[in-house]
Amino acid sequence: MKKNKIVVGSRDSKLAVMQTEIVMKEIMRYNPEIELELITLKTTGDLILDQSLDKIGGKGLFVKELDQALLDGRIDIAIHSLKDMPMEENEELPIVALPKRGDARDVLVLPQGCEFVENEDKALYYQNIGSSSARRKLQIKKLIPDACTSIVRGNVITRLAKLDRGEYSSLILAAAGLQRVGLPQRISHFISVEEMIPAAGQGILSIQARRDLDVEFLKYIKDDNTTYAALAERSFVRTLDGGCSSPIAAHATVEGEYIKLIGLYYNELTTEHRVAEAVDRKERAEIVGEQLALRLRGEIG
C-alpha cells in the first residue's frame, strides 16, 4: 500500500530520536513528495532501569511497544538500533531496510576532564567500569584481568552523568551512539574489533514496517554491504540461541565479493569461550553465520 504520509515511530530517548531523524532526513532526501511525522513512545526497557536486561525479558523490551503501534496502524515504520532487535524476525513486521552502517566499535569513556594516555598504567580506568553487557564484561576481563565491572542502565546522557558524578571509573559504550548523539568528544579511546568483538548489529540502524506497506520509497537508502553483514551476524547469534544475557559477539565486514565474519562463542556450562572467523562469498552471508556458529559450538561442546 503506497502512502503520501508516513508516520515514523521511535523510542523517546535522545539517542533514539536523533538516530530516527538521521533516517528521516535520508528518506526526505530521496522522496521530497512524502510527508513524514514522528511519534515517540516509551518502551518497557526504557522504564525499568534498576535491573539488567536478561533479568527483565531481554532485547524485546525495547521494541514491543513500537511493534504494537505498527500492528495497530498508529505508525507506518519504526526505526531501531539493530542490536536491540530480537534475532527472530516477526513475519508481520519485517525489517525492510538497513542504511549504511555507522562505527561498529566499542569505546572507553572517561569522566569529564580525564584524558586517556596510551602508554601509562590503565588500572585506574578499569577499577569500576560501567557496563551491563555480558559480551563486554567477558572481553574486558580478557584485556584487563583485574578489571571490575558494575551494572549501568539508562540512556547515553544518563550514563555519562553517572560517570561524571564519580559512580564509575569509566564506561564502555558504542562509538556510533556517541557520534550520533553529537558527543564524539566524549570518546576517550577506540577499542578495535580485534580487541573487543562488537554485538551483532552494532552501529546499524534498522527500518521495520508492516508487511502490507509499499516500501519502494526506501530503496535508495538501503545499503547492500550492511545488509550482508547483518545477515551473517544475526545468523551466527540466532544459531547459538544467544540472547542479551549471553556473551556472544559477531562482526562482519564486506570487501568486494567476499564477507569476513569473526565470532565469539561462550559455553555457559563449561565457561569456555572461543573466537574464530570465516570468509566466503557475500551472497552466502546467512550460511556463513550459521556454519561458523555450529563449528564453534562443536569445538567447545
Q: Sign (positive/negative) of CA torsion 47, 49, 53, 55?
A: negative
Q: Long-range contacts for 278-286 (Cβ within 8 Å, ≥24 apart)? A: 281/257, 282/225, 282/228, 282/254, 282/257, 282/258, 283/228, 284/259, 285/228, 285/229, 285/231, 285/232, 285/235, 285/252, 285/259, 286/231, 286/232, 286/235
| 118, three cell numbers | 596510551
> Which helix (H) or strand (E) covers residue 139, if one does?
helix 134-143
- Which one is catalytic: 84, 103, 106, 280? 84
> Which helix (H) or strand (E) covers residue 54, if one does?
helix 53-56
- In this structure, which amino acid lies at residue 251? H
Other CB atoms within 10 A of residue 282 CB: 21
Active-site annotation holds for 84: yes
Catalytic annotation, residues = 84
